Protein backbone atom coordinates (compact mmCIF):
# COMPACT_ATOMS: atom_id res chain seq x y z
CA UNK A 1 0.00 0.00 0.00
CA UNK A 2 2.74 2.46 0.93
CA UNK A 3 4.74 1.52 -2.17
CA UNK A 4 1.68 2.31 -4.29
CA UNK A 5 1.38 5.75 -2.68
CA UNK A 6 5.04 6.36 -3.55
CA UNK A 7 4.56 5.11 -7.12
CA UNK A 8 1.46 7.23 -7.71
CA UNK A 9 3.14 10.34 -6.31
CA UNK A 10 6.20 9.93 -8.50
CA UNK A 11 4.08 9.25 -11.59
CA UNK A 12 2.03 12.38 -10.89
CA UNK A 13 5.07 14.51 -10.14
CA UNK A 14 3.75 15.52 -6.71
CA UNK A 15 4.37 14.52 -3.12
CA UNK A 16 2.37 11.83 -1.33
CA UNK A 17 1.02 14.35 1.18
CA UNK A 18 -0.49 16.27 -1.71
CA UNK A 19 -2.15 13.14 -3.08
CA UNK A 20 -3.60 12.51 0.36
CA UNK A 21 -4.95 16.05 0.61
CA UNK A 22 -2.82 16.81 3.65
CA UNK A 23 -0.87 19.88 4.69
CA UNK A 24 2.85 19.89 3.99
CA UNK A 25 4.50 17.88 6.79
CA UNK A 26 7.13 19.27 9.12
CA UNK A 27 9.73 17.75 11.40
CA UNK A 28 8.47 15.82 14.41
CA UNK A 29 9.71 15.11 17.91
CA UNK A 30 9.55 11.35 18.36
CA UNK A 31 9.67 9.41 21.59
CA UNK A 32 12.89 7.71 22.60
CA UNK A 33 12.13 4.17 23.77
CA UNK A 34 13.89 2.85 26.88
CA UNK A 35 13.80 -0.92 27.30
CA UNK A 36 12.95 -2.77 30.51
CA UNK A 37 15.86 -2.77 32.96
CA UNK A 38 16.60 -1.81 36.55
CA UNK A 39 15.41 1.63 37.68
CA UNK A 40 18.99 2.87 37.75
CA UNK A 41 19.79 1.56 34.26
CA UNK A 42 16.62 3.05 32.76
CA UNK A 43 17.33 6.39 34.40
CA UNK A 44 20.85 6.37 32.98
CA UNK A 45 19.56 5.47 29.50
CA UNK A 46 17.05 8.32 29.66
CA UNK A 47 19.73 10.74 30.82
CA UNK A 48 21.99 9.71 27.95
CA UNK A 49 19.17 10.05 25.41
CA UNK A 50 18.33 13.62 26.48
CA UNK A 51 15.00 13.37 24.65
CA UNK A 52 12.05 15.64 25.49
CA UNK A 53 9.70 12.65 25.00
CA UNK A 54 10.57 9.29 26.57
CA UNK A 55 8.68 6.00 26.30
CA UNK A 56 9.40 3.51 29.08
CA UNK A 57 8.86 -0.19 28.57
CA UNK A 58 7.51 -1.90 31.71
CA UNK A 59 6.85 -5.49 32.72
CA UNK A 60 4.66 -5.48 35.83
CA UNK A 61 7.59 -5.74 38.21
CA UNK A 62 9.29 -2.77 39.87
CA UNK A 63 7.53 -0.32 37.56
CA UNK A 64 6.87 2.56 39.93
CA UNK A 65 10.52 2.66 40.97
CA UNK A 66 11.47 2.75 37.29
CA UNK A 67 9.17 5.70 36.61
CA UNK A 68 10.40 7.60 39.64
CA UNK A 69 14.04 7.02 38.74
CA UNK A 70 13.56 8.26 35.19
CA UNK A 71 11.57 11.26 36.38
CA UNK A 72 14.35 12.19 38.79
CA UNK A 73 16.89 11.90 35.98
CA UNK A 74 14.78 13.81 33.44
CA UNK A 75 12.55 16.23 35.38
CA UNK A 76 11.27 18.09 32.32
CA UNK A 77 10.78 15.23 29.84
CA UNK A 78 7.34 14.05 28.79
CA UNK A 79 6.80 10.41 29.77
CA UNK A 80 4.84 7.54 28.20
CA UNK A 81 4.57 4.25 30.09
CA UNK A 82 4.13 1.10 28.00
CA UNK A 83 3.00 -1.82 30.16
CA UNK A 84 2.82 -4.19 27.17
CA UNK A 85 -0.17 -6.17 28.55
CA UNK A 86 1.74 -6.99 31.76
CA UNK A 87 -0.62 -5.55 34.42
CA UNK A 88 -3.79 -6.60 36.13
CA UNK A 89 -6.66 -4.18 36.73
CA UNK A 90 -5.68 -4.02 40.41
CA UNK A 91 -2.15 -2.99 39.44
CA UNK A 92 -3.53 -0.31 37.15
CA UNK A 93 -5.74 1.05 39.93
CA UNK A 94 -2.77 1.15 42.29
CA UNK A 95 -0.15 2.53 39.91
CA UNK A 96 -2.08 5.07 37.84
CA UNK A 97 -2.42 7.75 40.58
CA UNK A 98 1.31 7.50 41.40
CA UNK A 99 2.18 7.64 37.69
CA UNK A 100 0.12 10.80 37.37
CA UNK A 101 2.03 12.36 40.26
CA UNK A 102 5.23 11.57 38.33
CA UNK A 103 3.87 13.38 35.28
CA UNK A 104 3.24 10.32 33.11
CA UNK A 105 0.94 11.46 30.28
CA UNK A 106 -0.04 8.10 28.82
CA UNK A 107 -0.23 4.44 29.85
CA UNK A 108 -0.10 2.13 26.86
CA UNK A 109 -1.84 -1.27 26.81
CA UNK A 110 -1.95 -1.97 30.56
CA UNK A 111 -4.03 -5.17 30.39
CA UNK A 112 -3.91 -8.24 28.14
CA UNK A 113 -6.02 -7.83 25.02
CA UNK A 114 -8.64 -10.32 26.16
CA UNK A 115 -9.28 -8.26 29.30
CA UNK A 116 -10.14 -4.93 27.67
CA UNK A 117 -13.71 -4.95 28.95
CA UNK A 118 -12.44 -4.69 32.52
CA UNK A 119 -11.61 -1.07 31.71
CA UNK A 120 -15.21 -0.13 31.02
CA UNK A 121 -16.38 2.32 33.66
CA UNK A 122 -12.87 2.74 35.09
CA UNK A 123 -11.99 6.43 35.43
CA UNK A 124 -8.22 6.31 35.03
CA UNK A 125 -6.29 9.41 36.15
CA UNK A 126 -3.85 8.88 33.25
CA UNK A 127 -4.96 8.54 29.63
CA UNK A 128 -5.01 4.93 28.40
CA UNK A 129 -3.80 3.91 24.94
CA UNK A 130 -4.73 0.75 23.04
CA UNK A 131 -1.86 -0.86 21.13
CA UNK A 132 -2.10 -4.64 20.85
CA UNK A 133 -5.88 -4.28 21.24
CA UNK A 134 -6.10 -1.97 18.22
CA UNK A 135 -5.33 -3.02 14.66
CA UNK A 136 -7.51 -1.01 12.26
CA UNK A 137 -10.67 1.08 12.00
CA UNK A 138 -12.85 -1.98 12.55
CA UNK A 139 -11.76 -2.04 16.21
CA UNK A 140 -12.77 1.52 17.05
CA UNK A 141 -16.40 0.90 17.99
CA UNK A 142 -15.35 -1.89 20.38
CA UNK A 143 -12.70 0.24 22.07
CA UNK A 144 -14.75 3.41 22.58
CA UNK A 145 -15.31 3.87 26.30
CA UNK A 146 -12.28 1.75 27.17
CA UNK A 147 -9.39 3.83 25.84
CA UNK A 148 -9.00 7.50 24.97
CA UNK A 149 -5.95 7.05 22.69
CA UNK A 150 -5.23 4.58 19.87
CA UNK A 151 -1.77 3.55 18.69
CA UNK A 152 -1.95 3.50 14.88
CA UNK A 153 0.90 1.56 13.30
CA UNK A 154 1.07 1.10 9.55
CA UNK A 155 2.51 -2.36 10.21
CA UNK A 156 -0.71 -3.38 11.99
CA UNK A 157 -3.38 -1.71 9.89
CA UNK A 158 -1.94 -2.54 6.48
CA UNK A 159 -0.60 0.77 5.21
CA UNK A 160 -1.20 4.47 4.87
CA UNK A 161 -4.66 4.16 3.30
CA UNK A 162 -6.20 2.33 6.25
CA UNK A 163 -4.18 4.39 8.74
CA UNK A 164 -5.67 7.63 7.41
CA UNK A 165 -9.13 6.07 7.54
CA UNK A 166 -8.58 4.97 11.13
CA UNK A 167 -7.27 8.39 12.11
CA UNK A 168 -10.37 10.12 10.76
CA UNK A 169 -12.72 7.63 12.37
CA UNK A 170 -10.90 7.98 15.69
CA UNK A 171 -11.24 11.77 15.55
CA UNK A 172 -14.94 11.43 14.75
CA UNK A 173 -15.28 9.39 17.96
CA UNK A 174 -13.31 11.83 20.11
CA UNK A 175 -10.23 9.61 20.36
CA UNK A 176 -6.64 10.84 20.21
CA UNK A 177 -3.82 9.18 18.30
CA UNK A 178 -0.36 7.88 19.03
CA UNK A 179 1.51 7.21 15.79
CA UNK A 180 3.71 4.20 16.45
CA UNK A 181 6.05 1.85 14.61
CA UNK A 182 7.85 -1.43 14.77
CA UNK A 183 11.64 -1.70 14.61
CA UNK A 184 12.24 -0.82 10.97
CA UNK A 185 14.21 1.33 8.58
CA UNK A 186 13.24 4.85 7.61
CA UNK A 187 11.49 3.50 4.52
CA UNK A 188 8.81 1.88 6.68
CA UNK A 189 8.58 4.92 8.95
CA UNK A 190 8.35 7.55 6.21
CA UNK A 191 4.62 7.18 5.41
CA UNK A 192 3.80 7.33 9.13
CA UNK A 193 5.27 10.84 9.30
CA UNK A 194 2.25 12.06 7.33
CA UNK A 195 -0.10 10.42 9.82
CA UNK A 196 1.88 11.77 12.76
CA UNK A 197 1.42 15.43 11.89
CA UNK A 198 -1.91 15.49 13.73
CA UNK A 199 -1.07 12.93 16.44
CA UNK A 200 -1.00 13.73 20.13
CA UNK A 201 2.00 11.42 20.60
CA UNK A 202 4.67 10.30 18.11
CA UNK A 203 6.68 7.11 18.62
CA UNK A 204 8.64 6.63 15.41
CA UNK A 205 12.11 5.77 16.69
CA UNK A 206 12.20 2.30 15.11
CA UNK A 207 15.17 3.12 12.87
CA UNK A 208 17.20 4.39 15.84
CA UNK A 209 17.21 0.84 17.23
CA UNK A 210 18.98 -0.53 14.13
CA UNK A 211 22.71 -0.83 13.58
CA UNK A 212 22.32 1.02 10.28
CA UNK A 213 19.53 2.73 8.35
CA UNK A 214 18.74 3.65 4.78
CA UNK A 215 20.39 6.71 3.27
CA UNK A 216 18.80 9.19 3.14
CA UNK A 217 16.99 8.39 6.36
CA UNK A 218 14.58 10.34 8.51
CA UNK A 219 16.73 11.12 11.52
CA UNK A 220 18.67 14.33 11.89
CA UNK A 221 21.23 15.31 14.47
CA UNK A 222 18.61 16.09 17.12
CA UNK A 223 15.55 14.29 18.46
CA UNK A 224 13.34 15.16 15.48
CA UNK A 225 12.60 13.13 12.34
CA UNK A 226 11.28 13.65 8.81
CA UNK A 227 9.67 14.58 6.61
CA UNK A 228 11.06 12.06 4.09
CA UNK A 229 13.12 13.10 1.10
CA UNK A 230 11.37 12.05 -2.14
CA UNK A 231 14.22 9.69 -2.96
CA UNK A 232 13.30 7.74 0.17
CA UNK A 233 9.50 7.76 -0.16
CA UNK A 234 6.56 9.84 -1.29
Summarised one tens digit per residue, pLDDT across range 143-188 is: 999 999 999 999 999 999 999 999 999 999 999 999 999 999 999 9
Among candidate residues 178, 171, 170, 224, the one with its CA nearest the CA of residue 201: 178
pLDDT for 119 beyond 90: yes
The answer to whether residue 220 scores a pLDDT higher than 90 is no
**Rounded to an integer, what is the distance from CA 118 to the centroid of its chain?**
23
Higher pLDDT, 7 or 220: 7
Supply the pLDDT for residue 214: 93
Q: What is the pLDDT of residues 1-59, one digit of tens each?
A: 999 999 999 999 999 999 999 999 999 999 999 999 999 999 999 999 999 999 999 99
CA distance 171 to 153: 16
Give the pLDDT score at 160.
Answer: 98
Find the mean pLDDT for residues 88-110: 98
Please, what is the average pLDDT of the chain?
Answer: 96
* Burial profile 170-205: b = 16 or more Cβ within 10 angstroms, e = fewer: beeeebbbbbbbeebbbbbbbbbbbbbbebbbbbbb
The whole-model pTM stands at 0.94
Q: Please list, residue by residue across 138-168, b when 16 or more beta carbons sit within 10 angstroms of its beta carbon and e when fewer do.
A: ebbeebeebbbbbbbbbebbeebbbbbebbe
Under DSSP, is residue 150 helix (H, G, I), strand (E, B) or coil?
Answer: strand
C-alpha to C-alpha distance for 147 and 129, rounded to whole angstroms: 6
* Res. 219 pLDDT band, cuts 50 70 90: confident
Lowest mean pLDDT among 40-44, 75-79, 112-116, 217-221: 217-221
pLDDT at res. 221: 67
pLDDT at residue 126, rounded to an integer: 98
Amino acid sequence: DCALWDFDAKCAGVRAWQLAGLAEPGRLITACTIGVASPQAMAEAARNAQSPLIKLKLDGGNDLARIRAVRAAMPRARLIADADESWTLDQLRELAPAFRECGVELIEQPLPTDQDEALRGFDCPVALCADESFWDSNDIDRLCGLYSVLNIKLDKCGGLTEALKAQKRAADNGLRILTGSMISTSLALAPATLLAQNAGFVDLDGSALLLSDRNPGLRGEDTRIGPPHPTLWG
